[in-house]
Amino acid sequence: MVGAGIVLAKVLAGIAAYEGLIYAGQLQERREVYSRAEAYAKQADKPLLVVGAPKLAFNHGCGDVTMDLSPKWLGSCPHGQVGDIRDIPYPNKHFGASFASHVLEHLATPADCAQALSELDRVSDQVFIVVPRKDSIMAWMSPDHHLWVTPIPEGFLVEQR
């Protein structure tokens, strides 16, 4: 019995280490993609839209405008507004860039995701997206993740979970 407990402990430690590497990689990806979006907007001399306020340890900047469904997350962003990614209240190409990090997977259906991507494209010159990786155990365990959104050369593959 003791041997099985040791094996289980080693397996769990391996899983935790693997998830730690994925978490670190996703945090670095969020910051790098945000930096690219920020630079693009600055080069275009237009504002940066951030959809999904920075939360917890996943901090990235707020951009020039931060939009989130929940007002509780907007407190740290000076130009925050409550809004829905599927219906962005700005005119066509108002923003140089839009940035959405770990937002699309929370939408209910692939059609909602398509509408969100269309809206981001409509209001900005360039769209920057970060989504959870399918190989993340934590992403699989999150009950409010309804979609898998996978970058592909043609855009995004969106699958219902």
Domains of the chain in start order, with CATH, are 2-160 (3.40.50)
What pLDDT was estimated at residue 57? Answer: 55
Mean residue pLDDT of the chain comes to: 87
pTM of the model: 0.84
Contact call for residues 30 and 58 (beta carbons, < 8 A): yes
Dist CA 108 CA 105 (whole Å): 8
